Chains A and B, each alone.
Chain A
Amino acid sequence: MMGGARAWREGLTTLWLVGPATLAMTVLIFVPVALVAMLSFTDYQFGARTFNWIGLQNFADMVSSPLGRRAIVNTLIYAAVVIPFSIILALLVALGLHRLARRAGWLSNTLRAVYFLPVAATLVAMAIAWQMLLHPTIGPVNTALVALGLPRQDWLSDRGLVLYTLAAIGIWQSVGYNMVLFLAGLSAIPASLYEAATVDGAERPWERFWTVTWPMLGPTTLFVTVITATTAFRVFETVATLTKGGPAFASDTLVYALYREGFVYFKAGYASAITVVFFIFVLLFTALKFRVLESRVHYR
């Protein structure tokens, strides 16, 4: 009898503690997601008074239309370039700065701040700077190329090149952030492990990296990979400010297509379908990453 009342009181306390947060999460996250999922099965036009249920038509259109497919392929290419490069470059920079910190701390700190600048700056503002730099006739990049005797490039208007230009800007943007994460990972490796490695005969830097640094950075690398991947799949600002998906859809990506369909074309139903696909994309990817990598990551 007494136990029942106590359980009841505890239950009430639990409800009191988690209730508000659960309610907020339901109203602010689950309900909108459910609404978007529902809209993705309709032909709803933004501002229209009625809509029709059209089943999976939106999803079929996305896969069958050349534009939808192009957006998906472009996003995959972009991610395939940005993910490895921004991780490898960030690791190299972090290793360099970590070594440098012992000999010239001030230089290391200055460089660290410089590498971090692109992260701290607003990407939209920086995109305008990139636009000037990459200008085909009056931009410094092409001027430098010509001075070196190389041909000019239409960085942002050549259909074969534009996606890689955006990828390069994406890498430039994320290297600084990943570097900070790697630096934190590096400084957490206990010096005793390196001493032990030396005792065991791992003398050369390369051996020390493979036997100590890389395994100990496992959790950091996993985290960096997931973060970089989700940012790469979400690429939007540079596309919107620099190319608007053009020329001729050559730099159209999933999230930009979503914005275009929903907010420029007012096709809310179709845009919702893209959102659902994108959501599943990121969710699956994250789950897969954790499952595959977690078993191989060396946790202490």
Chain B
Amino acid sequence: MRLLATATALMLTVGTAQAETQVRVHYAIPTIWADVQQMLADAFMEANPDIEIVIDGPAESYAEGVQRLLRESVAGTLPDVAFVGLNRWRILEDRGLTQPLDPFIEDEAAFEAAGYTGALRSLGQYQGQQHALATSASTLVMYVNPDLVEQAGGSMDDFPTTFDGVIELAAKIDALGDTIDGIWIGRHDWRFQSLLGSYGGRPMTEDESDITFDQPAGIAAAELYARFVDEGGMKTYGQDQARQAYPAGTIGIMMESSSLMTRFIEAAGDGFDVTVKALPVAAEDPSTVYFPTGGSAIVMLSEDPEVQKAAWDYITFVTGPEGARLVVQNTGYAPTNALVLEDDAYLGDFYKDNPNAFVAHQQVANYAGPWYAYPGAEGVAVTDLIAAALVEITEGADPETTIKDLAETVRGELGMK
């Protein structure tokens, strides 16, 4: 009898506890994230029965996701936390929608020890405040076709680690045939920022008051584009065509986001062994080098202190080692918690089976840096101007004058003059 009473009382407490706090979650790109989001929510709710995670219907892309969040902010129906593109949380911050996370972090040293390294924290910081925490990451890597390298007389074991060496090898691959292209890289803001970072450059000053990609590092990065075309046999086709051509085996070296790894391996099938190499580090002082990081971050949007506490628990779970393990195993993105790379217990077996992933993920852990979003109303628009200037460079325009003109135009557009 007493047992029954205890059991009833227990059930009642569990029953009431379950409905205590509800956290609404927004995410985008269901093709990559749908299963993982459910796994994260289920694993979290199992450990925290007093918090219920409610997942909103996903947006098709990060761009669409931000649009929806902006609409919801106008309508007053914002979710409590949101997974957004790493280069897009600033749009929300700019409109005062994100809640700073510093009050929740409290002890910075302990947070660092929990796997949130300075490089990883920098992905969600603006003007010294933590607005977002990265949940998945990718940087620019080199996808190599080993068969073509072999045919061109190169060696995969002794693969070049400088841009000069890469271009030389690309030229040899390009000479193999009419339909074989030596190298390819997208003419796009993020790719340009990656090459710039390899030379130790930054697109803007620390306080974002001036453009700095017209300094020597930026000109060197722009000259790479010209050399890829002139010497490395890069064709000027677009991103979609290149993403078809590499798995088809007609591109020797392709510089692309590490998040495409799974897709390329599947698409290449038995054709050849897709092999990932780290991007060359060109700066004399490697400590200045960083690679702008794509991927997603989680932000807190709720203004209710009660919900905020529960939301913070969810955020730390998702970005903690357990969440990072789930993300890595199911998406192909690199982890955003250093503990999983340091401790074999989380992903040791996974990396043994996926050496390509280890190369890409180590690059993220060593060199992750912010993907600069340009400030203000014209911020997104100027990235298209940058892409257009890169198109001109690959079609023969002088890199130095083009980049200097571009910097002036961008300064004008952003009101920096």
Contact = CB atoms under 8 A, between A and B. Distances in A.
A47 interface: yes
B387 A46 contact: no
A150 interface: no
Chain B contact-residue range equals 35 or more
A246 interface: yes
B236 interface: yes
Interface string B212-247: 000000000000000000000001111011001100
A234 interface: no
A138 B240 CA distance: 13
Interface string A109-141: 000000000000000000000011001111000
Most buried by B among A49, A132, A136, A156: A136
Interface string B174-190: 00001101000001000
B21 to A, nearest CB: 27
A247 B241 CA distance: 13
A131 B240 contact: yes
A214 to B, nearest CB: 43
Given A47-B71, A159-B395, A249-B388, A266 B91 contact: yes
A265 B237 contact: no
Contacts of A132: 244
B308 to A, nearest CB: 21
Best-buried of A46, A246, A248, A263 by chain B (most CB within 10 Å): A248
Given A137-B235, A154-B235, A157-B236, A264 B63 contact: yes
B248 A138 contact: yes
A28 interface: no
B417 interface: no
Nearest to A128: B240
Interface in A234-257: 243, 246-249
B293 interface: no
B95 A136 contact: no
A154 B394 CA distance: 14
A267 interface: yes
B244 A247 contact: no
Contacts of A248: 387-389, 391-392
Contact of B236 (A43, A49, A247, A263): A247
A45 interface: yes
A234 B384 CA distance: 22
A135 B245 contact: yes
A151 B246 CA distance: 22
Interface string A167-202: 000000000000000000000000000000000000
B109 interface: no
B380 interface: yes
A48 interface: yes
Contacts of A263: 63, 67
A264 B380 CA distance: 7
B48 interface: no
B356 interface: no
Contacts of A249: 384, 388
A264 B88 CA distance: 11
B73 interface: yes
The winner among A47, A159, A261 for most chain B CB atoms within 10 A is A47
A136 B377 CA distance: 36
Interface in A17-67: 43, 45-49
B29 interface: no
Interface string B62-89: 0100010111011000000000000000
A49 B95 contact: yes
B253 to A, nearest CB: 15
B403 to A, nearest CB: 15
Given A46-B67, A156-B241, A159-B395, A265 B236 contact: no
B237 A136 contact: yes
A132 B240 CA distance: 10
B70 A266 contact: yes
B380 A154 contact: no
A154 B250 CA distance: 16
A51 to B, nearest CB: 11
B156 interface: no
A139 to B, nearest CB: 8
B105 interface: no
A248 B241 CA distance: 16
Contact of B241 (A135, A159, A261, A266): A135
Given A43-B377, A49-B95, A263-B63, A131 B241 contact: yes
A159 B236 CA distance: 10
B381 interface: yes
Nearest to B181: A137
B238 A243 contact: yes
Contacts of B245: 135, 137-138
B391 A46 contact: no
B238 A156 contact: yes
Nearest to A48: B95
Contacts of A246: 238, 387-388, 391
A137 B182 CA distance: 13
Contacts of B392: 248
A103 B33 CA distance: 58
A73 to B, nearest CB: 16
Interface string B353-389: 0000000000000000000000001101100100111
22 contacts: A43-B377, A47-B91, A49-B95, A49-B96, A131-B244, A136-B237, A137-B179, A137-B250, A138-B248, A146-B178, A157-B237, A159-B395, A246-B391, A247-B388, A248-B387, A248-B391, A249-B384, A260-B384, A263-B63, A264-B380, A266-B67, A266-B91
Given A47-B71, A137-B181, A159-B391, 12 more contacts: A49-B95, A135-B244, A137-B179, A138-B179, A156-B237, A247-B238, A260-B384, A261-B381, A266-B91, A266-B377, A267-B377, A267-B381
Interface of A: 43, 45-49, 131-132, 135-138, 146, 154, 156-159, 243, 246-249, 260-261, 263-267
CB-based closest 8 A-B pairs: A47-B70, A248-B388, A248-B391, A247-B391, A157-B237, A265-B380, A265-B381, A136-B237
